[in-house]
Amino acid sequence: GAGVSQTPSNKVTEKGKYVELRCDPISGHTALYWYRQSLGQGPEFLIYFQGTGAADDSGLPNDRFFAVRPEGSVSTLKIQRTERGDSAVYLCASSLGGGEGYTFGSGTRLTVV
């Protein structure tokens, strides 16, 4: 596609529920990143995919968070047993991997009530 697409744009869920956030990167971008951003803060790294594999998942806060990219394109970030502290904007970005910087999607605003 022309840009990085993230769905849904907004998600409100109850504490304890499971959520899935989807990212469709720019066509041909092999590198995909998930970040999350809280109000007044810079984006915080979660996980990086090169192709289908998670090359670096050191930013995932705990084992409630998991992400996949089974065919090397679309990625899904999965959060189990959501907590109020998970509320943030979840940003997906993609790149060609050549050091030229990212293109971000418009983000998913997750609110856990």
Partner 1 sequence: QKEVEQNSGPLSVPEGAIASLNCTYSDRGSQSFFWYRQYSGKSPELIMFIYSNGDKEDGRFTAQLNKASQYVSLLIRDSQPSDSATYLCAVDYSGGYQKVTFGTGTKLQVIP
Which backbone phi and psi does 47 adopt, to 5 degrees?
-155, 150
Residues 28-67: x where in contact with partner 1 by CB under 8 A, - otherwise, as a string: ---x-x-x----xxxxxx--x-x----xx-----------
Q: Which is nearer to partner 1, 86 or 105 (CB)?
A: 105
Contact 6, 103 (CB under 8 A): no
Q: How far apart are CA 103 and CA 2, in angstroms?
A: 11
100 binds partner 1 (CB under 8 A): yes
Closest CB to partner 1 among residues 50, 76:
50
Torsion of CA 86, 18, 13, 43, to 10 degrees: 30
Query: Which positions lie near partner 1, rule CB under 8 A?
Result: 31, 33, 35, 40-45, 48, 50, 55-56, 89, 91, 95, 97, 99-107
